[in-house]
Amino acid sequence: MTGSPQKHAAAPRAYRFRRHSVFVPALAATLVAAMVAIASTQHRAPDTRGDERRRQRFNHDNVLHDEDGGENRRDVRDPTEAPTGFDNATNGMDPQGPPYDSLDEDTVVALRSFNDNRFIFEEVETIDDGLGPTYNGQSCRECHQNVVTGGASQVAEHRTGRLLQGQFFQSLGGSLVHSRATHPDITELVNFEDDVRTFRISTNTLGAGFVEAIANGTLLAIRDQQPAAMRGTAVIVPVFEANGVARVGRFGWKSQHASLESFSGDAYLNEMGITSPLFPDENTSTGRDVTSYDTVDDPEDDGVDLVAFANFMRSTKAPSRGPITDEVRAGEAVFTAVGCATCHVPAIVTAPPGTRVNGGAFRVPAALGNKVIHPYSDFLVHDIGSGDGIPVLPTPEYAETANQMRTAPLWALRTRNRLMHDGLSFTKEEAILRHGGQAAAVRDRFNALSESQKIQLMRFLDSL
């Protein structure tokens, strides 16, 4: 990489979607290639039925929907700052307001207030509710709590698999190894031959509704402006509540989901063992059928909880900043000058209110649309040499994701003391020094900074 610090100085402006984006054809070509790849998959790794379903849903009818707000665009005024705060208060989204085209009337009637939705996110589930047979936690809040419900936490889960002739195979029952079970005989244990292993710690969901409201085209535009040597990859994933329509992924350490309802269904099943219409099949225990340990009929949730989880997260404020002093401002200038901001993008504008996102299943509400957020991420995945070797799915079209990780959003960084996907970096300095690969040149420029510049940069990071 030959870019000078000046070259990166242009990065921190707010990106927004442009009409008639030139990126869509390129993406469509990528999608077709991916689908051909899916269609030609002969030898599949053993995995969960949920993954199989996910693959089936990602079918030939998929198209990447144009997420430009259409005629609404003309009405868009200057974007305003998204509300921020760690205060358990709503960002103003009316949970009864936005149209849910994918839901039947009963579900729409069941839409609840912010506090009711938060309560459901906090609720501790029991075996009678469908918890297990294998699971990682009893409530969403158990892992998403710091410093308020919805934040990140130190709770880590593990994923394992193995490489055979260069191809990744998930552990029996899927790469996610559940750490708990409802009966001692069905705890998932790791096979010693599964030596591709990682921890993944729990991420922040505060402000996630704004992230969901970013148009595909905005993320693709960020990608296309990154210098070739640092260019991120947009992970294209199915939106489950829209029958597998493709969207640019943005949630999770690998940007493996694009919608909060889809992520909620995935989490309800894979973290808590609770099935829903979007994820109706129970997990196995290391490949062993354990349905006899499960007394509740599937789907254990009728889909209403998924909407409550999604709407809770959509209604949260974005993380707020600490005090912004002169030193902090100087530190941000250093952050931009060395090129951190090329990936850790400081400002993004969400799609206009009314824009149909999530394959048409959700329309951006007024409280979330045309807002400036400061996530310090591009929501793309990069190979910075820290990859965990585990792709989004063990299929050819996702093979590249094995060693790519989403640019960790740095908002709420000051609430976390275990860093990087595995939580194994104890300090910011250690996290920065783990940046290699696509970030190697930036890390070298960081190393070349004077002591006082480094201190300024650290003060800036401490303000996030």
CB 242 within 8 A of CB 102: yes
- How many other C-beta atoms lie within 10 A of the C-beta of residue 98? 20
What minimum distance in Å lies between the beta carbon of 405 and ligand HEC? 4
Hey, what are 40's tokens? 């030609």
CA distances from 185 to 189, 286, 290 (A): 10, 12, 10
What minimum distance in Å lies between the beta carbon of 350 and ligand HEC? 15
| CB closer to ligand HEC out of 215 and 420 | 420
What minimum distance in Å lies between the beta carbon of 3 and ligand HEC? 10
How many angstroms separate the CA atoms of 412 and 410, rounded? 6
CA angle 52, 253, 390 (to 5 degrees): 55
At 374, the amino acid letter reads: H
| CB closer to ligand HEC out of 270 and 286 | 270
| CB closer to ligand HEC out of 244 and 252 | 252
CB 53 within 8 A of CB 279: yes
| CB closer to ligand HEC out of 24 and 82 | 82
| CB closer to ligand HEC out of 186 and 420 | 420
CB 401 within 8 A of CB 392: yes
CB 403 within 8 A of CB 64: no
| CB closer to ligand HEC out of 117 and 286 | 117
| CB closer to ligand HEC out of 24 and 457 | 457
Residues that bind ligand HEC (CB under 6 A): 136-137, 140, 142-144, 155, 157, 200-203, 205, 208, 230, 251-253, 260, 263-264, 267-268, 271-272, 309, 313, 338-340, 342-344, 382, 384, 386, 405, 407-408, 413, 416, 419-421, 428, 431-432, 435, 438-439, 442, 446
Q: Where are the alpha helices (DSSP H) in 127-251?
A: 140-143, 208-212, 216-225
| CB closer to ligand HEC out of 265 and 354 | 265
The residue length of the chain stands at 464
Hey, what are 372's tokens? 């400036």
Collapsing DSSP to helix, strand or coil, 273 comes out as: coil
What minimum distance in Å lies between the beta carbon of 419 and ligand HEC? 4
What minimum distance in Å lies between the beta carbon of 445 and ligand HEC? 7
What minimum distance in Å lies between the beta carbon of 212 and ligand HEC? 9
| CB closer to ligand HEC out of 103 and 313 | 313
CB 382 within 8 A of CB 405: yes
How many angstroms separate the CA atoms of 234 and 379, rounded? 8
What minimum distance in Å lies between the beta carbon of 344 and ligand HEC? 5
What minimum distance in Å lies between the beta carbon of 227 and ligand HEC? 10
| CB closer to ligand HEC out of 245 and 439 | 439
Q: What is the phi/psi pair of residue 8, to 5°?
A: -90, -10
No. of helices (H) and no. of strands (E), the chain: 15, 15
CB 251 within 8 A of CB 265: no
Strands 371-373, 80-81: pairing kind: parallel
What minimum distance in Å lies between the beta carbon of 301 and ligand HEC? 9
DSSP-derived secondary structure for 410-439: -TTGGG-SSBSTTS-B-SHHHHHHT--GGG
What minimum distance in Å lies between the beta carbon of 345 and ligand HEC? 10
Q: In the β-sheet with 348-349, what is the strand arrangement from edge to edge?
A: 80-81, 371-373, 348-349
